[in-house]
Structure 1
């Protein structure tokens, strides 16, 4: 079940102390589980073709491979147009280059702030459910399981990107490729620790249910 998005709020960078706390949470993950962590820096210069938007943003994506839960957090500000769509595109023909079709829900992740120039969003999704993908992506991949595999493969090889489309830039005002993060760094969004805590709770609940 999708968690309601947080109300819009300005972007806040992560402090070094919280980054160390997040690293500790990663190290505490149970045996047999793995948190796949990705981040992206959003900018107009990353669009293809590039634009001169002063907008900026950050994306955090954490996937729990035990529960197939995907936690997404986005912060953005300074857009010239108002938001109309936001989603993950996958998979480009070459890493960190080019354009690709939309892999996640259209026109946006449910509850993503619309009609604004700054805001933030946080939600989690079950990658085993068809409605958490673009139907065309599922069809092209031959089913939900294959769609999940393709998305994870695209994230792993740097061929998936997060894009925010606006009224002035319908093809995308700011975007950034999602790249793997082994250890949280100061550039990751402020609620990273909350995201990992939510995933940890989800994992513990799944483990408890399995052993009950």
Structure 2
């Protein structure tokens, strides 16, 4: 029996609080809790509120939503100021007075769209700006909220065609990155496939697409990766990013993996802010059938759509099915992952030896039997097939599954 199913992992555009964000946007979210206690000049105002800013690093424009309750005084002005927590700073962007707000009793709200930021992008992204609302009673500011950047998800898809000097390498790679702008802490998850040449180094560089730039943050050579055949995987956790925050978030940085054959870089991918929705979303395909010998394998197909990579868990289970009353199970399954050109990327027959095996318990969807198989990988967009077979010609009933999992 030869069963095939196809799963589409669909990527949705990121829906912001104010508008639909275009795919090319480089959006960073900042949030503020608004109250009188943050003012540097004493204020006894009972008003409190929240603000959410969506800042497009590439265009230096922002959308801002504000809600403030218990604000009885007429608003005489409101601004974005530059200043650290507890420090008064100058106005960099004017927003306006009572007329630009909507009032219902003592609750005021406002939506500002497409506002050009008048201050320093680097200062804003480092948490050095605040929202301030003024009244006649408190002309220096009645309530204030520090604008704090939220963690940013970034992605990169790597290949030889994107090198500043394009090459014919068949190697590909994908990375999922989390960056905290105000602390510059960065975590990079990366997988590289079909990398047949010795991997000599990997870095973040700064330059626009199509041009070469200098190294700003090193990751390392083959010794810092886990290698399986011609594939490599690594997690570089909680590092301090050595480059420029604005350039990283505006698409002006790239990941580069070097080899001895291509010392200037074998595969490269421009780093972009992810436009996927941040809500947790797990998609699954499950395919159960008989695994025999020869071409009697179990085939599960799935497609990663859109322009961003995804992290996927692919499993092949046999013996754990016995607990559900299934008889004649496959004693020792093996899973191999192939791309759209039928080229093998990875194979595994013991899940404890796969990339990221230590994370499987937290994910909660991995195999439970030591002789079952799993692949936890970051994949570029495209079509893939997972082939389940039996180690040493073993046969029986198996189940093949593929999940999208959050980094």
Contact between 2:187 and 2:239, CA under 8 Å: does it hold in 1?
no
Contact between 1:34 and 1:64, CA under 8 Å: does it hold in 2?
yes
Contact between 2:163 and 2:210, CA under 8 Å: does it hold in 1?
no
Contact between 2:160 and 2:170, CA under 8 Å: does it hold in 1?
yes
When normalised by structure 1's length, the TM-score is 0.58
Contact between 2:156 and 2:270, CA under 8 Å: does it hold in 1?
yes
- Correspondence for 1:4: none
> What does the per-residue CA deviation read over 1:43-93, in whole Å, with 9 as the maximum and x for residues that have no partner?
000111100001001011111246543111001111231211011001x2x
Contact between 1:70 and 1:126, CA under 8 Å: does it hold in 2?
yes
> Compared with structure 1, are the counterparts of its residues 191 and 73 closer, same or farther at alpha carbon in structure 2 (3 Å cutoff)?
farther
User: Based on CA coordinates, which of the two structures has the bigger radius of gyration?
Assistant: 2
Whole-Å Cα distance in 2 between the matches of residues 60 and 181 of structure 1? 9
Whole-Å Cα distance in 1 between the matches of residues 277 and 263 of structure 2? 32
Pick the aligned partner of 1:80 from 196, 203, 223: 196
Q: How does 1:140-179 map to 2 (within 5 A)?
A: 147=243, 150=244, 152-179=245-272
- 1:117 aligns to 2:230 (yes or no): yes
When normalised by structure 2's length, the TM-score is 0.32
- Correspondence for 2:109: none
Which is richer in helix? 1
Displacement of 1:166 after TM fit?
0.9
- 1:181 aligns to 2:274 (yes or no): yes
Contiguous gaps of at least 5 residues in structure 1: 1-13, 24-28, 134-146, 198-212
Contact between 1:80 and 1:168, CA under 8 Å: does it hold in 2?
no
Contiguous gaps of at least 5 residues in structure 2: 1-6, 16-29, 33-147, 279-303, 314-358, 363-407
- The count of residues paired between Structure 1 and Structure 2 equals 150
Contact between 1:84 and 1:115, CA under 8 Å: does it hold in 2?
no
Displacement of 1:122 after TM fit?
0.9
Whole-Å Cα distance in 2 between the matches of residues 106 and 61 of structure 1? 13
Whole-Å Cα distance in 2 between the matches of residues 83 and 15 of structure 1? 32
- Higher relative CO (Cα under 8 Å, sequence separation at least 6) belongs to 1
Contact between 2:199 and 2:222, CA under 8 Å: does it hold in 1?
no
